[in-house]
Structure 1
Amino acid sequence: MSHAVLAPPTPGSHPWMPVSPCGDHCIPGADETPGVGAARRALRFGALFLVVLSGVPIAALYPVLGPRGRQWLARRWFRAVLRAIGARLVVRGEPRFAGEGAGALVVGNHCSWLDIVALDAVQPVRMLAKREVRSWPVVGWFAAATGSVFVDRERLSALPGTVADLAAVLREGAVVGVFPEGTTWCGAASGRYRSAPFQAALDAGVPVRPVAVRYLVNGSPTSAVAFVGADTLWHSVRRVVGLRGLVVEVEPLPELTNRSAADRRELAALAERLVAAATYPDDASGPRPQRAAA
């Protein structure tokens, strides 16, 4: 569930629709963030266009590959997206979210459309996405080909069915990514984790893998990548492509199981606390083991 994948609530949406207080005021001005020149920006846009275009044949080839081939190809494609926009990926701690053939529910903080790219660049996951994504050019085709689980956010009555579908996919050994906040935040604050996806993990008997995603420029957290408020995808991409020295950190945290909490609400709250603590750790906590991406 993401802002990059899920648009802001529309009139008539149900009262439980997630809402974020973050908006345009959270985004730093162009003069507040290090940027690249026009030539470098043009090169990055060209590279990004070619990578996105390559997603068409990849999506067509994806279904006929074996599990290992699909994982390798998708992971390389998402890493190519990061390289094209000038971002460096750093994985801290474990290099994967789950072992081969082992199902897991990957949950984490949600700031940008870039979160999905970052997760898939570490280990491709089947995202929970809104149904409209199916009609998006290239992205929708790729999402469908990689087995994304689509949900209708406007129909609250569809939630039990979505949880059942999610549990079925997890039982099959899939690694599914969900943003339990339900919408994007700027990164300086975070929202409450919705508990419904955690019920799917409990029903399927698979672990929950909390994951912290951090965005740094010159070693400091930045909200320049945030996709919030009235921002459009095009404006967000333009802003991200123009950043100098962007580092994307992904940190898989210890797994949570049905022994970690009494029910889905406690499990959601525990995952929320762990991710929040790791997103902007206290300086006194010391450095973490680091594995730079290839």
Structure 2
Amino acid sequence: MTPMATGSLRASAVLAAFFGLTVPLMPVQAILLRVSDRAARRFPHWYHRQVCRLLGVKLNIEGSVAKGAPVLLVCNHTSWLDIPVLSALAPVSFVAKLEVGSWPFVSALARLQRSVFVDRTRRLAAGDAANAITMRLQQGDTIVLFPEGTSSDGNRVLPFKTSLFGAVAGATVPAAEQVVVQTAAVVYTHMHGVPVTRAERPRIGWYGDMEMTSHAWGVLKSGAITVTIKVGPPVPLTDFKDRKDLALKSERAIRRDVLAILRGRPDGDELVPVEPSEEARRTKVAAPVRKSDKWT
């Protein structure tokens, strides 16, 4: 059997197993959402660990997500694989762009995991997102934010969009003293146990105008993948002056951690500059500070 045929056979088997696992469990989660917040929070965590096993994704985790406090988990974004990977890391929900809510099947999974959908084209919609995030943080949830605003090829960290922290700024005012911020650097490091090179890493990354189904099929054909997730220490939200300070320091931390992981991979030393983007650096010296830009 040719390698191509073997890969297609593997992808077909994994896909069948995925739907065989997922479809029967969707009504289970729907019931849990009605009867038990705690179970509804933890069940997707267990489910995504099984999904990672099915996909052949091995997790190498450094650090841990804080327990017993509401957490804003700030992450770089490379692939659709980030969703099961981060969900296998801890019980989390995602801040997602509004379009995800209209994707067939994916939208149902996102809603079952209590994702918060944000319409980035309407400034007034930020208030609704802030209210949703406020409620979730007050319940002690862990909310994942991808501040790049899109996904990359995995060889770089894109500039953080400070505007994406805006809803968080408005949301966390009532509970700022309890909320902690953590970063999570996600890097796909190996395929079949062999270090992934700079040229090969975009095979895992889902970015630009890539069509999701064809990309997912290619990943399923590829076989075993190892991902390293480096989780930063918890920092009280009140330690940041405002959303721009939060964006600046989070981007710097993730760039540093991504670079540290890539240094163990081919070409890693040249991929990700440690200094954050110009957008995150920019501040308006004389600009008035809005109440929603401050944590307290």
**How does the TM-score come out when normalised to structure 2?**
0.75
User: Within the alignment, does 1:114 sit opposite 2:81 as a pair?
Assistant: yes
Q: Is the 8 A contact 1:52 1:138 kept in 2?
A: no
Deviation at 1:157, TM superposition (A): 3.2
User: Within the alignment, does 1:165 sit opposite 2:132 as a pair?
Assistant: yes
- 1:14 is matched with none
Mark the CA change 1:161 to 1:201 in structure 2 (over 3 Å): closer, same or farther.
closer
| Aligned-pair identity (%) | 28
- 2:47 is matched with 77
Deviation at 1:245, TM superposition (A): 2.8
Give per-residue Cα distances to partners, 1:121-168, cap 9 Å, x unaligned.
111212112334334444322322332211112213322442343233
Correspondence 1:98-177 to 2 at 5 A: 98-100=66-68, 102-177=69-144
User: Within the alignment, does 1:219 sit opposite 2:195 as a pair?
Assistant: yes
- 1:278 is matched with 257
2:107 alignment partner, SS class: helix
Mark the CA change 1:109 to 1:145 in structure 2 (over 3 Å): closer, same or farther.
same
**How does the TM-score come out when normalised to structure 1?**
0.75
State the alpha-carbon separation in 2 of the partners of residues 162 and 282 from structure 1.
Answer: 33
Q: Is the 8 A contact 1:212 1:250 kept in 2?
A: yes
User: Which of 56, 62, 84 matches 1:86?
Assistant: 56
Compare the two structures and name the one with the higher helix fraction: 2
Deviation at 1:247, TM superposition (A): 0.8
State the alpha-carbon separation in 2 of the partners of residues 173 and 272 from structure 1.
Answer: 24
Give per-residue Cα distances to partners, 1:237-270, cap 9 Å, x unaligned.
1121112330122221112224543222111111
Deviation at 1:38, TM superposition (A): 3.2
Structure with higher RCO (Cα < 8 A, 6+ apart): 1
Give per-residue Cα distances to partners, 1:171-216, cap 9 Å, x unaligned.
2322111101111111211222223425246523111111111112
User: Which of 10, 23, 32 matches 1:40?
Assistant: 10
Equivalent AA in structure 2 for residue 281 of structure 1: A
Deviation at 1:49, TM superposition (A): 2.4
State the alpha-carbon separation in 1 of the partners of residues 124 and 238 from structure 2.
Answer: 29
Higher mean displacement: 158-167 or 115-124: 158-167
Equivalent AA in structure 2 for residue 98 of structure 1: A
- 2:278 is matched with none
State the alpha-carbon separation in 2 of the partners of residues 37 and 75 from structure 1.
Answer: 28
User: Which of 240, 264, 270 matches 2:243?
Assistant: 264
Greater Cα radius of gyration, structure 1 or 2: 2
User: Within the alignment, does 1:192 sit opposite 2:165 as a pair?
Assistant: no
Give per-residue Cα distances to partners, 1:217-238, cap 9 Å, x unaligned.
2133623221112211101211
The total of aligned residue pairs comes to: 250
1:156 alignment partner, SS class: coil
Mark the CA change 1:53 to 1:82 in structure 2 (over 3 Å): closer, same or farther.
same
Give per-residue Cα distances to partners, 1:9-42, cap 9 Å, x unaligned.
xxxxxxxxxxxxxxxxxxxxxx9xx996333232
1:44 alignment partner, SS class: helix
State the alpha-carbon separation in 2 of the partners of residues 210 and 201 from structure 1.
Answer: 19
Deviation at 1:109, TM superposition (A): 0.2
State the alpha-carbon separation in 2 of the partners of residues 35 and 107 from structure 1.
Answer: 39
Deviation at 1:57, TM superposition (A): 2.1
State the alpha-carbon separation in 2 of the partners of residues 36 and 263 from structure 1.
Answer: 52
Equivalent AA in structure 2 for residue 229 of structure 1: G
Deviation at 1:283, TM superposition (A): 7.3
The gaps in structure 2 that reach 5 residues or longer are 265-296
